[in-house]
Structure 1
Amino acid sequence: MSKTPHDEERVFQEEDFEYQRPEWGHKQFKRMVWKTRWKFFLNAGGALFLVFMVYHIYVSSLHIYFDQSAVRNDFMRSIISVVEMHGDGLRVEKKINVQPFEVTPFLTQKANLKIYRHVGSWEVITGEIQAELSITGKFTYTITNTGAYMNGNNPGPFYLPYSLVGGKSDHNDSEESSSLKRLGKIDDGHVAEMSLSLKNLASPDQLMQLLSDYDVAVTAMPIYSGEFTEPSVSYSRAGMFDYNIPHLSLKPLYEFNDNGARWFNYFVSDDAGQMKEQVQAMLSDLEWMSNHLEYSGAELDKQRLAYLKKNGVQVYGAVVTGPVRELEKLTKVPEFQHFQLNRVEIWNWD
């Protein structure tokens, strides 16, 4: 059978194709592989660099935003309000501009701050606090105590007036007697911090009036918030003795404003107008923190706030500091009971 012109053309094209097919050598193949690898590495490196730059810009933007005074003040207000209002004379350091604040990529603010107590005129460091505030408003903190002693030297508890716990108390006064004995043996060249309870509820002004004749300063007052009158507000009994309960504390004024903050270390005994301002500031802080923050006890604090708005603020004790002889005089005042000696320091009283 003879070939047609079409068949001859097809054979020619196939033979021509086979003739032009390249034959790869070993070196050429390796060169192609490495070229592909380098291209992949360069692309991956470029992508990583881009991610790094985006992350750096993101983190820098976060710090620029969270370093603004308004944002930082809200975080500090969260720490101070929750910690100090639930403590007994405990204070958080307040030098905002020099504190080690940080923010995580997930928008959680963190701070590591010193905590201290007023003993005489000194601010005595007693530990550190690690606080976190998430973008959702969840506030958590832990306190690490760095006291000078392995045991003891913790602030004494406050005990409710007998009238609120069903009459006569069965309080065991062995620890109180120990405190009074130690107080009597300390010489005049020392100052100390002491907790005392009232036999009856009193307004903050009434308590300050009782203390006005003595050379002492008041750093905190436990507030009665209806724990024994409101069924939904829980309380607990301390061992087999008297009733002492978790409570809010009235503390000297700490106020934030556009220009920074102002605060007082002690209550002023002869200024009724300032005491009214202290009480109002405490209620405002309590309302702000219980509505804006999610923390352990926030729901209970809302109930406490409702009680205080309805019934007013009454206290049943105080944390006082001053010369030991002045503190000793307070143990003879009929309206006071349950004295607990706390920190003692050498003389530093102005």
Structure 2
Amino acid sequence: MAEDDNKFEAWKDQNNRAWDEKKARRMVWRTRLSIIFTVLRVLFILFFGYAIYKIVISSYYDSAHKGEEFDRYVTTYIETHETGLQVEKTGVQEAILSPFLTQKTSLKLYQTVGDRDVVIGKVKATDSLMVHTIFNLDLKEDYLNQQSTYDFALPPDLSGKGQVSQKDKVSEGVWSTLNKIDDGHVAQVAFSTKQGMSPEALGKALAPYDLKLLQMPVYSGELKTIKDVPFSSGGDGTDQMYYVSHLTLRPWIVSYDSKNRLSSEYYEEDSQTMKRAAKQLITDVQWLQKNGDYDEQKADAKRLDYLKQHGVKVYGAVVTGPVRELEKLQNNKNFYQFQLGRMENWNWH
């Protein structure tokens, strides 16, 4: 009888252990499922909250026309601070706002060669809450060392520094190259002037040539009243020349409406347009000062003060037209330091 009782107890213990193991496994799975469902609920809440957050900031960004404002900011900065580059203006918003409140845009860059606008790359700009706007120029180069932007020698009568080059070996290479090009081509050329000039005076000096005036470097007190701007120098000691970061004057008028949308853009070559363009340059830089956040902002404030006090003086130009017409520029004794840009097959009015 005792032996039977022992067997019964052993059997009972075995069944209890089996039941306890099943119960434990059920509890483990219930715990796992509970954790999984909790994680899924948290992820759903986070995703839903993120979606609502993104919809709200995107709606505000679009309704406040912040994208158009950022595109205008990048366009205005490039066309007033880079020489040789123009930004495509379609009126379509390209800027986007990331969830981290970083604005980004990518706009096409082009150069006018003859009557043709040649796409040469993009400007990619990023603006965050923590740092200045970062501008990256992604330029296409068909050849090594191809000229896309230009440097201009400061005339001593404006800056009070340096000298006018008497050797001008840079220009010799340009004329040697153009001499080998046949009549069926157009090109873009940049040059410096030996003295500072008003935009109207430079426009009149170029009037006898069948060329299109595209851009002009503006002297705004660099090296004289503004010390904190990037500059470089060249020459052999007796022929010292200075090249500085500068503002750029465009002889065309670009207008935006109150919502920073492009409303008009037109080009004219006459003295009145030059005066309007000079006024617009000051207006554009003032707008950048108010709406931008970029490295040369403090220098631009000093530039504005100088321009308002002394007026707009230029010391070079970027022009385009037939190669034979460009060659005639070498006969103008006030033009030097020529630089050759892109060339294209004939396309001229």
Smaller-chain TM-score bracket: 0.7 to 0.9
Q: Does 2:143 align with 1:149?
A: yes
SS at structure 1 position matched to 2:241: coil
Could you give the per-residue CA deviations for residues 162-191 of structure 1, whole angstroms, max 9, x where no partner exists?
A: 434557434652221010121222211111
Q: Does 2:293 align with 1:298?
A: no
In the alignment, the residues of structure 1 paired with residue 167 and residue 338 of structure 2 have an alpha-carbon distance, to the nearest angstrom, of 12
Q: Does 2:193 align with 1:198?
A: yes
Q: 1:177 aligns with which of 167, 172, 180?
A: 172
Q: 1:129 aligns with which of 123, 145, 148?
A: 123
In the alignment, the residues of structure 1 paired with residue 77 and residue 168 of structure 2 have an alpha-carbon distance, to the nearest angstrom, of 31
Give how far 1:305 is off.
0.9
Decide whether the 8 Å contact of 2:190 with 2:338 is kept in 1. Answer: yes
SS at structure 2 position matched to 1:331: helix
Tell me the amino acid that sits aligned with residue 41 of structure 2.
G
Decide whether the 8 Å contact of 1:194 with 1:321 is kept in 2. Answer: yes
Q: Partner of 2:247 in structure 1? A: 248
In the alignment, the residues of structure 1 paired with residue 266 and residue 116 of structure 2 have an alpha-carbon distance, to the nearest angstrom, of 10
Distance 1:155 1:26, change over 3 A: closer
Q: Using the TM superposition, name which of 237-246 and 211-220 deviates more.
A: 237-246
TM-score w.r.t. structure 2 length?
A: 0.85
Tell me the amino acid that sits aligned with residue 118 of structure 2.
V
Decide whether the 8 Å contact of 2:67 with 2:96 is kept in 1. Answer: no
Decide whether the 8 Å contact of 2:192 with 2:338 is kept in 1. Answer: yes
Equivalent residues in 2 for 1:185-334 (5 A)? Answer: 185-230=180-225, 232-234=227-229, 236-240=231-235, 241-251=240-250, 252-258=252-258, 260-262=261-263, 264=265, 266=267, 268-270=268-270, 272-334=271-333
Two-structure CA RMSD over aligned residues (Å): 2.4
Tell me the amino acid that sits aligned with residue 325 of structure 2.
E
5+ unaligned residues in a row in structure 1: which ranges? 1-21
In the alignment, the residues of structure 1 paired with residue 297 and residue 142 of structure 2 have an alpha-carbon distance, to the nearest angstrom, of 32
Q: Does 2:47 align with 1:52?
A: yes
Distance 1:167 1:104, change over 3 A: closer
In the alignment, the residues of structure 1 paired with residue 165 and residue 197 of structure 2 have an alpha-carbon distance, to the nearest angstrom, of 22
Give how far 1:157 is off.
2.1
Could you give the per-residue CA deviations for residues 289-308 of structure 1, whole angstroms, max 9, x where no partner exists?
A: 12332211111111111101
Equivalent residues in 2 for 1:73-92 (5 A)? Answer: 73-92=68-87
Give how far 1:36 is off.
2.5
Select the structure of larger CA radius of gyration: 1
In the alignment, the residues of structure 2 paired with residue 137 and residue 291 of structure 1 have an alpha-carbon distance, to the nearest angstrom, of 17
Q: Does 2:139 align with 1:140?
A: no
Aligned length: 326
Tell me the amino acid that sits aligned with residue 152 of structure 1.
Q
Could you give the per-residue CA deviations for residues 212-261 of structure 1, whole angstroms, max 9, x where no partner exists?
A: 22221111110001114316455634233422211110123222114731
Could you give the per-residue CA deviations for residues 119-163 of structure 1, whole angstroms, max 9, x where no partner exists?
A: 111111222221012246831111122111122334442112243
5+ unaligned residues in a row in structure 2: which ranges? 1-15
Distance 1:64 1:51, change over 3 A: same
